[in-house]
Amino acid sequence: MSFFSDDLDQFRVEVAGFIAEKCPQKLKDMPASDRTICWGGKRFNFSCDEQRIWMEEAAKVGLTAPRWPVEYGGAGLSRAQEKVFREEMAKSDAPSPLESFGLWMLGPALLAFGTHEQKLKYLPDITNGRIRWCQGYSEPGAGSDLANVQTKADDKGDHWIVNGQKIWTSYADKADWIFALIRTDRDAPKHKGISFMLIDMEADGVSTKPIKLISGSSPFCETFFDDVTVPKTDDEGNSRIVGELNRGWDVAKHLLTHEREMIGGGGSGAAGGILGGRSLGAFIDTLDDTLMEDPVIRAETMELEIDTLAMGMTMERYKDMAKQGGVGHASAMLKYSGTELNKRRYEILMSITGSEGVEWDGEHGTLAPEWLRTKANSIEGGTSEVMLDILSKRVLELPSA
Amino acid sequence: MSFFSDDLDQFRVEVAGFIAEKCPQKLKDMPASDRTICWGGKRFNFSCDEQRIWMEEAAKVGLTAPRWPVEYGGAGLSRAQEKVFREEMAKSDAPSPLESFGLWMLGPALLAFGTHEQKLKYLPDITNGRIRWCQGYSEPGAGSDLANVQTKADDKGDHWIVNGQKIWTSYADKADWIFALIRTDRDAPKHKGISFMLIDMEADGVSTKPIKLISGSSPFCETFFDDVTVPKTDDEGNSRIVGELNRGWDVAKHLLTHEREMIGGGGSGAAGGILGGRSLGAFIDTLDDTLMEDPVIRAETMELEIDTLAMGMTMERYKDMAKQGGVGHASAMLKYSGTELNKRRYEILMSITGSEGVEWDGEHGTLAPEWLRTKANSIEGGTSEVMLDILSKRVLELPSA
Amino acid sequence: MVASLVPTEDEVMLRDAARGFLSESSPVTAFRANRDAGRTHDPALWKEMAQMGWTGVLLPEEAGGSDMGHRAAGILAEEMGEVLAASPFISTAVMAATALKGAANDRLAGIASGDAIYALALDEGSKHNPARTGMQAEKSGNAFRLTGRKVFVADGSAANRVLVLARTAGTEGEAQGLTLFDIDAARAGLTRSAKRTVDERDHAQLDFDAVEATGDDVVGEVDNGLAAVATALNAGRAALSAELLGVSAGAFGMTTAYLKERKQFGRTIGSFQALQHRAAHLFAEIEITASAIANAGRVLDEDPDNADIAVSIAKARATKTAKLAVSEGVQMHGGIGMTDEFDMGFFMKRARVGAEWLGDYGFHAARVAAARGF
Amino acid sequence: MVASLVPTEDEVMLRDAARGFLSESSPVTAFRANRDAGRTHDPALWKEMAQMGWTGVLLPEEAGGSDMGHRAAGILAEEMGEVLAASPFISTAVMAATALKGAANDRLAGIASGDAIYALALDEGSKHNPARTGMQAEKSGNAFRLTGRKVFVADGSAANRVLVLARTAGTEGEAQGLTLFDIDAARAGLTRSAKRTVDERDHAQLDFDAVEATGDDVVGEVDNGLAAVATALNAGRAALSAELLGVSAGAFGMTTAYLKERKQFGRTIGSFQALQHRAAHLFAEIEITASAIANAGRVLDEDPDNADIAVSIAKARATKTAKLAVSEGVQMHGGIGMTDEFDMGFFMKRARVGAEWLGDYGFHAARVAAARGF
């Protein structure tokens, strides 16, 4: 049973009251930044005590995971209630009490594929921010071919010995646990020998190395597994594998589609970053006033604005379609168009800021690194080429070679 | 031995004198148009008697085929002499005395692959305009897959029986003879069973049907072969096949590269058609004077102009490279970029002429049909996709699947 | 905005009904037949559309309309575009119906019944630009004398009534000083000459030589005609955008079908990755444009006075998407796509005319930029 | 034009020599080492270039130059671009050498020997626009006092001499009234602040506070400085275009090599047709741009006073081609292309800075349009 009433109006009053009472004013007043994001986890440094308090208070009533069942640490809200909650949060300026790959990815995976016991064991630690997870999918040699998993687990009876390397593991250097794709059967066909495994980052033989990007430092890491011992079951007898053994690809696929929709959002509406919610027009007002007399820049900017607004409408339309029974593989379109559009936006921002924009840290602050960082948008979470393959084969049903 | 001296200065005097004397003034005064093109052939209607006279006079001294050997009806000029001849022609306003697929395609094929006897039999009839040839390569089912030749010849001992259909045969309805790719061995691999065959269009069972394009009527025809008898050798014992039996693909390939360079030219410099040699600026001057205030149109037009001029420089550079030992498969770049550029030019011409441009026959005369016709540029003579395949495989040497 | 961009059940039903009707009464073969017969549209089809209630899609029930709104009108226009159905729908049932909303029901009833065919005579140059209207409407007593030339008037030959914008004050380029008149197409002094355009539709040049108009002919206020026609123009642009989306979808449908059936080099050409990626990109462009079309209809239904930006995004996107769809359509079909025997060329030609009618890409891009503050 | 666009034997030899030298003395690893050491260029490399005679490529023999001309200079710049060799070559050996052609040989000798490093202080805003120069050069007696700010001054920190354009008459935006000065970088009142740019090259802001200049410092005529610097700017733009062509070729070379070696889904990725066609398209773009670069050099050598359009075509094409080459470069490499460990990012960053320096696409497109009469 939930901590809140089912009646929507009543619920709105309760949740608004909760936010007003439990979220410290100091947090509400803080301008949104990396420092205001609460990741949780054993080694997390809270930016201030209020940040910890707000996380704990929200976790108590499950609001760190509004839609998850109460028994697993969620608030068990309906979609309608969640909408109300988001609205009240927005009104209140309260920051999200907790963010993590556990909430975004592992949780949904466990809820869909985990056993009741696994859920009881892992989900509450996610919702109350005790454990911070990271994702271990990609490998150096694999690129877009995600199923090309070389990191392997040798069966030693009651435990696995894991060896190999993962790459693009965000915040692996700050995470407590990792959910990773591991090859548990080398003789089976590529997609049939992979398991979705849960590994303690503190286990011997696990090490990480941060990755520097062309845009500068990044949350990405390489993660190495050197004869890492992973018990097949923990003390309570829970398997360290989510879903069936050698069926991890199903779990991964389930999460990828999910991830794709999130990333596509980057292309829509007024982006964050340098624009910081400002409209392109407002940003242009801060620049050389003869700039828009250049027909090349003006034409490119007008087209960008048109496509950005149309992309926003498309995100809205697809969200509604998703609610009404899903968009399936067409979500690859959001990922493709959204990320390509975001790259184009930053190319134009660089062009309109001219010689000021190329400074690492000048007039326009982080514009240059932001621009360079967008180049990964169409690579991470499935390259544009993979998205186009999905669209042509799954949506347009064009024949394979 | 040539009719002219080898000494360049001397030659210039001679050839200038010849043009001045032999090309009737009436022809020089005629504005260039379809009517001024002399195609020759048995059924050709000369637009005027002067047109016939000029063709015959030029043919007498081989100037309808300046670089062909004298014994085959050419003038046997060196490249340097040909250049001088072209210069003097340009100065004089004299139209080309003769144009034909015989001069452009069959001649070069015979010179490269024919026997001495074949050359003696067929080339003079081309140079003196007695016989008009057409080309029979494409077939309805084949598209870009030119070697997919279904038109077949059954071996009946001393003759072939030809059955099948060709498409895109330009001026087939006006031609006396056709040089065609015919499958003479159905068991051999695709490229090894084709012969380059010469067929009399007056033979029983040959019929043609003109093709209407989206741009209106066109010189293209469908050509049908219905149990057509083709003697293996003519009365003088000359084979009706150019090159070896079943080796016609070599001949065709030789001609295709040649053709490609010709078509690529479309993209460069000030095109003919609606611009009629005028610069884009001069054409724009004839239009609404507020037109270029639209940054979209202005930006597109500026970029078109830049790319057009750069393409012209590229045509020049490649011509010089060709003289110094050839450009090989890179000529596919001229075909690809030149035709795509020409399509873009006409899209922009349509855009700048607005609602006047969309009339079949309004303010801007044939602009609309010209625009539609350009859409075939990137299809005929090898599609853009085929050109890109050639570039990636032969020039960049990227691996095949 | 209240409505979702996902079609309602009613809208889905309307689309199915429209598609069913048009595949019966007006497949592309019908357009070809009209073209070959030199007909720019088929009066019988127009009558049927009237019986289906399409002519009244924007009219109040009192006037015999169904008042289904602009999104519904867009769905109909889109379906017509997909099969290239030629009719005065946008000129009459969308633009005139919107401009005359305030008029007496009997006049609207003429539209609903399909008896009235309207043309909007506006442009005077090769580019759409209402403010540049220079045609004079001289005041003489309490009447006006209209003199000047209107070009690119859609349905100008078939129309029996003409909505014409003329200058009663101010000078060319000024937004103020224009007046909108609703006059009989047979009125003395009005000469109409049909123009043959590549889309084989009805486009005419209208020459006014001291054509008489009275105060009763004025729509909206004298000297404020741009306001009187503004929403009608936006409605027409939105419907035209929807038609162009249909044109894109029609061309794209033919193309993907061809990619699945045509064989070359021993393979179905749809298995070539370069073509697959271009087709997938085109799919994405069409989807994004579809959102802009749905949004334009939604805004016209919910907040018509602030629809400029939504409408201009739709028209700009639709123009560009249709251009891409038809060029890829011809190129991917190869030679056959170039033949008149094949339908693809019809889509290409309509896309070109639609790109110019009621404002080209640059016209609408400028409106978006203005609304967005640069 | 006399010369062919195909390189002569001498030019081929020059290119081979340059390539050989640079692959030895300045491979991309050397650029990375400079970057990591916080060096914007390597003085030792500059000395070697001087010994190779590159600093004198545009100087008369009397001044210790080899007078090989602009096409030769372009070949050197292109080779430097291909390996991202950082040096004051364009500022000093191309622009200053051209601007000072008329000057005394001893001054030119300093350039030839490599002792003089010049920077051209021109832009005052975020976009290149010589005519908009507003910086004041007040006349006081027969001297001038320069006050104002110059930004995005390439090689501004390393330079020991500065060519600065300032206004001695007229107002901002006027082509007339500007004067070009050649002054010592150490002169009193001149403050230089280095800016860290993504290409990790030397770009500085120069603040002039009543910096003294005499008549002897004036290059060309007083009030006619734009003329004095015009050919030097065109020469610099042509050389920069050549460098950008090299950047494109460098990125493209890495990319095609990767396409041939990298395996995915059990195939060499270069066998995927979608990537093949994009690579082939890029090849075509690079070839066309190469023609424009060769032509710009040819025109500067044969008819330098009428080189605006040839130079602007080259810079516009080079800017756009380099942008395409580096974006495709990163995208086709996937994740590895995004890592700092890999070199592709360096090419992308240099291409961006090169796109802005000495005029962006729009600046040069406008010059082409003007020359072509629209």
Mean pLDDT by 10 residues, chain D (374 residues): 89 96 95 96 95 96 94 98 97 98 88 97 96 93 94 98 96 92 97 97 98 95 94 98 98 98 92 97 98 97 96 98 98 96 97 98 97 92
Same domain, D78 and D148: no
Q: Report the C-alpha gap between C306 and C316 in whole angstroms.
A: 17
DSSP B91-114: HHTPPPS---HIIIIIHHHHHHH-
Across the interface, of B295, B300, B303, the residue whose CB is closest to A298 is B295
D121: nearest Cα among D199, D183, D189: D183
Produce one character per residue of B272-295: b if its CB has 16 or more CB atoms within 10 Å, e if not. Answer: ebbbeeebbbebbeebbeebbebb
Can you give the pLDDT at residue B233? 92
* Joined tokens for residue D61: 């023999």
Tell me if D96 is assigned to some domain: yes
A126: nearest Cα among A118, A116, A137, A136: A118
List A88, A259, A261, A340, catalytic entry: A259
Contacting residues of D for C273, CB less than 8 Å apart: 272-274
D290: nearest Cα among D269, D314, D264, D254: D314
Q: Specify whether the CB–CB gap between A127 and A74 falls below 8 A.
A: yes
When divided into structural domains, chain D yields a total of: 3
Residue B267 pLDDT > 50: no
Q: Which residues pair with C193 in a beta bridge?
A: C205
Same domain, D235 and D363: yes
Across the interface, of B296, B300, B401, the residue whose CB is closest to A401 is B401
Reduce the DSSP state of residue A358 to 3 states and report it: coil
Across the interface, of C284, C365, C373, the residue whose CB is closest to A282 is C373
Are A280 and C281 within 8 A, CB to CB? Answer: no
Could you tell me the pTM of the whole model? 0.93
Are C352 and B358 within 8 A, CB to CB? Answer: yes
Q: Is A259 a catalytic residue?
A: yes
- Half-sphere exposure at residue B164, Cβ-oriented, CA atoms within 13 angstroms: 24
Which of C6, C281, C332, C374 has the highest number of chain A CBs within 10 A, making it the mutation to test binding with A?
Answer: C374
Q: Report the C-alpha gap between B207 and A391 in whole angstroms.
A: 46
Contacting residues of B for C264, CB less than 8 Å apart: 142-145, 148
Q: Which of C83, C116, C149 is the last residue of a domain?
A: C116
Cα angle at A314 between C9 and C66, to 5 degrees?
A: 35
* Joined tokens for residue A359: 């400074």
Can you give the pLDDT at residue D226? 94
Q: What is the dihedral of CA C233, C236, C242, C246, to 10 degrees?
A: -140
Nearest Cα of chain D lies from the Cα of B167 at a distance, in angstroms, of 28
Same domain, D197 and D295: no
Contacting residues of A for D338, CB less than 8 Å apart: 213-215, 375-376, 379
Nearest Cα of chain B lies from the Cα of C334 at a distance, in angstroms, of 6
Can you give the pLDDT at residue A188? 92
Q: In which residue ranges of chain C is pLDDT below 70?
A: none
Q: What is the CATH number of the domain that holds C59?
A: 1.10.540.10
Can you give the pLDDT at residue B259? 67
Chain C interface with D: residues with Cβ < 8 Å? 272-274, 276-277
Cβ-based neighbours of C295, under 8 Å, separated by 6 or more: A313, C1, C5, C310, C313, C314
- CA-atom Rg of chain C in angstroms: 21
Task: Sort B59 into a burial class: Cβ within 10 Å, 0-12 / 13-18 / 19+.
Answer: buried
Q: Which 8-state DSSP code applies to residue B46?
A: -
- CA-atom Rg of chain B in angstroms: 23
Q: Specify whether the CB–CB gap between C359 and C237 falls below 8 A.
A: yes
Same domain, D268 and D349: yes
* Best CATH choice for the domain B133-246 from the list 3.30.300.160, 3.40.50.11810, 2.40.110.10, 1.20.140.10: 2.40.110.10
Amino acid code (one letter) for D291? S
Tell me if D18 is assigned to some domain: yes
Nearest Cα of chain B lies from the Cα of D84 at a distance, in angstroms, of 23
Across the interface, of D268, D292, D369, the residue whose CB is closest to B302 is D369
Q: Which of C116, C145, C172 is the last residue of a domain?
A: C116
Q: Specify whether the CB–CB gap between A68 and A62 falls below 8 A.
A: yes
Same domain, C211 and C265: no
Q: Report the C-alpha gap between A198 and A135 in whole angstroms.
A: 10
Q: Which residues pair with D224 in a beta bridge?
A: D178
Contacting residues of C for A296, CB less than 8 Å apart: none
Can you give the pLDDT at residue A267? 41
Q: Which residue of B has its CA nearest to D253?
A: B396
Tell me if C1 is assigned to some domain: no
Can you give the pLDDT at residue B277? 64
Residue with tokens 């009005």: C190
Task: Sort A21 into a burial class: Cβ within 10 Å, 0-12 / 13-18 / 19+.
Answer: exposed
Across the interface, of C4, C271, C294, the residue whose CB is closest to A399 is C271
Confidence of residue B102 (pLDDT cuts 50, 70, 90): very high
Are B330 and D287 within 8 A, CB to CB? Answer: yes
Tell me if C2 is assigned to some domain: no
Are D271 and B324 within 8 A, CB to CB? Answer: no
Same domain, D357 and D234: yes
Neighbouring chains to D with at least 3 Cβ pairs closer than 8 Å: A, B, C
Contacting residues of A for D275, CB less than 8 Å apart: 385
Nearest Cα of chain B lies from the Cα of A311 at a distance, in angstroms, of 21
Residue B327 pLDDT > 90: no
Which of A314, A331, A342 has the highest number of chain C CBs within 10 A, making it the mutation to test binding with C?
Answer: A314
In tens, the pLDDT along A188-243 reads 999 999 999 999 999 999 999 999 999 999 999 999 999 999 999 988 889 999 99
Complex prediction ipTM: 0.94
Tell me if C131 is assigned to some domain: yes
In tens, the pLDDT along B2-13 reads 788 989 999 999
Q: Specify whether the CB–CB gap between B384 and B339 falls below 8 A.
A: yes
Which of C277, C281, C332 has the highest number of chain D CBs within 10 A, making it the mutation to test binding with D?
Answer: C277
Q: Between D165 and B254, whose confidence is greater? A: D165
Same domain, C352 and C262: yes
Across the interface, of D5, D290, D317, the residue whose CB is closest to B316 is D5
Cβ-based contacts under 8 A for chains B and D: 122
Helices A295-323 and A248-264 cross at an angle (nearest 10°) of: 130
Across the interface, of D279, D281, D294, the residue whose CB is closest to B398 is D279
Nearest Cα of chain D lies from the Cα of C205 at a distance, in angstroms, of 29
Same domain, D245 and D339: yes
Cβ-based neighbours of D234, under 8 Å, separated by 6 or more: D300, D304, D307, D308, D311
Which architecture characterizes domain B8-127 according to CATH?
A: Orthogonal Bundle (1.10)
Same domain, C231 and C362: yes
Confidence of residue B266 (pLDDT cuts 50, 70, 90): very low
Q: What is the CATH number of the domain that holds D127?
A: 2.40.110.10
Residue A271 pLDDT > 50: no
Can you give the pLDDT at residue B89? 92
Which of A144, A288, A292, A305 has the highest number of chain C CBs within 10 A, making it the mutation to test binding with C?
Answer: A305
Contacting residues of C for D277, CB less than 8 Å apart: 274
Contacting residues of D for C276, CB less than 8 Å apart: 274
The domain covering A257-395 belongs, at the CATH homologous superfamily level, to Butyryl-CoA Dehydrogenase, subunit A, domain 3 (1.20.140.10)
Same domain, D30 and D63: yes
Residue B276 pLDDT > 90: no
Tell me if D345 is assigned to some domain: yes
Are D276 and C272 within 8 A, CB to CB? Answer: no
Amino acid code (one letter) for C329? G
Cβ-based contacts under 8 A for chains B and C: 114
Reduce the DSSP state of residue B84 to 3 states and report it: helix
Nearest Cα of chain D lies from the Cα of A332 at a distance, in angstroms, of 17
Same domain, C207 and C233: no
Q: Report the C-alpha gap between B130 and B73 in whole angstroms.
A: 12
Tell me if D4 is assigned to some domain: no
Contacting residues of D for A288, CB less than 8 Å apart: 125-127
List B88, B139, B222, B259, catalytic entry: B259
B268: phi > 0 → left, psi -120 to 50 → alpha, else beta; which? beta
Average pLDDT over chain B reads 91
Nearest Cα of chain D lies from the Cα of C276 at a distance, in angstroms, of 8
Domain that residue D103 falls in: 9-117
Q: Which residue of A has its CA nearest to B295?
A: A295
Q: Does A302 touch chain B (CB under 8 A)?
A: yes
Q: Specify whether the CB–CB gap between B180 and B106 falls below 8 A.
A: no
* Joined tokens for residue D107: 């001054």
- CATH level 3 topology of A8-98+112-127: Butyryl-Coa Dehydrogenase, subunit A; domain 1 (1.10.540)
Q: What is the CATH number of the domain that holds D259?
A: 1.20.140.10
Tell me if D1 is assigned to some domain: no
Domains of chain A, residue spans: 8-98+112-127, 133-246, 257-395
D69: nearest Cα among D187, D312, D231: D231
Q: Does D262 touch chain B (CB under 8 A)?
A: no
Neighbouring chains to B with at least 3 Cβ pairs closer than 8 Å: A, C, D
Residue B122 pLDDT > 60: yes
Q: Which residue of A has its CA nearest to D267?
A: A145
- Poorest-pLDDT segment among A297-306, B256-265, C235-244, D231-240: B256-265
Same domain, C172 and C234: no
Neighbouring chains to A with at least 3 Cβ pairs closer than 8 Å: B, C, D
* Joined tokens for residue B267: 């993209």
Q: Which of C116, C150, C165 is the last residue of a domain?
A: C116
